[in-house]
Amino acid sequence: MKKTALITGASKGIGKAIALNLSKEFNVVINYNKSYDDALLLADSINKNGGCAKIFKADITNLTEVKNMIEFTISHFKKLDVLVNNAGIAEQKLFTDITETDWNTIINTNMNGTYNVTRQALKYMIHEKNGKIINISSVWGLVGASCEVHYSTAKAGIIGFTKSLAKEVAPSNITVNAVAPGVINTDMCNFDEETIEMLKSEIPLGRIGSPDDVANVVGFLASDLSNYITGQVINVSGGFVV
């Protein structure tokens, strides 16, 4: 039976590239929150090209919606083999300007959202003694970013989450890994030309990353080629952070 992957925040950017990549081998569930049109277009294009994709609206911070999404995935495809926790939001502000609401929103979406979806998915995966969980962190979770303390904190939390959960669920034949992208060309990195040029000059490989650069690594982690890898954080930043 064909395997199934659920990708959160797959309506655009990195998540979209991951859904396209995984759709070559997996049935895919494209989770979106606000971008219904983008999610629908993506699913149509996958389905027209011989893949099998379904879309599901769920705010990953809402436990009821997350439970419904996992139930939808299992009831529709009868399986959940791979979970990619990709959905996330960022914000750039001085630490002293970050309000309690800003702090809670960034932590809640990036970290608690990952917790919500993983917890619900794991109930099924542990029962099946099979699964791969791939969490999208950030290089800022590794080295910290000025003016993004809340975001860096959440992404560092995802790394701790990945390593500890990997140890706990390995006996159930479930792997948990993280990918830490650098600067990737998506709506999240909507910088002006001058900033892009400055960033490029600081990246040893001399270019901003593409969503496919991240999706290719996720494709590997989702495949059987990575069966003996768990608890790892793979840095995809063109040498920006080494």
148-151 long-range CB contacts below 8 Å, 24 or more apart? 148/90, 148/91, 148/92, 148/93, 149/95, 149/98, 150/91, 150/98, 150/102, 150/103, 150/106, 150/107, 151/90, 151/91, 151/106, 151/110
Beta carbon of residue 80, minimum distance to ligand NAP (angstroms, whole number): 17
Beta carbon of residue 69, minimum distance to ligand NAP (angstroms, whole number): 9
Beta carbon of residue 103, minimum distance to ligand NAP (angstroms, whole number): 16
Contact 59, 51 (CB under 8 A): no
- Does the protein bind ligand NAP through residue 213 (CB under 6 A)? no
Q: Contacts with ligand NAP in 151-180 (CB under 6 A)?
A: none
Cα–Cα–Cα angle for 236, 225, 76, rounded to 5 degrees = 95
Beta carbon of residue 53, minimum distance to ligand NAP (angstroms, whole number): 14
Burial of 78 per CB tally in 10 Å (0-12, 13-18, 19+): exposed
C-beta of 181 vs 219, nearer to ligand NAP: 181
Q: Contacts with ligand NAP in 56-85 (CB under 6 A)?
A: 59-61
Nearest to 186 by CA among 121, 120, 74, 90: 90
- Does the protein bind ligand NAP through residue 238 (CB under 6 A)? no
Angle, helices 113-128/63-77, rounded to nearest 10 degrees: 30
- Does the protein bind ligand NAP through residue 233 (CB under 6 A)? no
124 among known catalytic residues: no
C-beta of 34 vs 78, nearer to ligand NAP: 34
The only residue of 80, 133, 136, 215 in contact with ligand NAP, by rule CB under 6 A: 136
* Cα atoms in the Cβ-side hemisphere of radius 13 Å centred on 230: 20
The CA distance from 171 to 181, in Å, is 28
C-beta of 78 vs 91, nearer to ligand NAP: 91
Stretch that binds ligand NAP, among 43-51, 55-63, 162-170, 220-228 (CB under 6 A): 55-63
234 Cβ contact list (under 8 Å, min separation 6):
177, 178, 179, 180, 217, 221
- Does the protein bind ligand NAP through residue 33 (CB under 6 A)? yes
C-beta of 124 vs 151, nearer to ligand NAP: 151
Beta carbon of residue 13, minimum distance to ligand NAP (angstroms, whole number): 2
Number of residues that bind ligand NAP (CB under 6 A): 31
Interface with ligand NAP by CB under 6 A: which residues?
8-9, 11-15, 31-35, 59-61, 86-90, 109, 113, 136, 138, 181, 183-184, 186-189
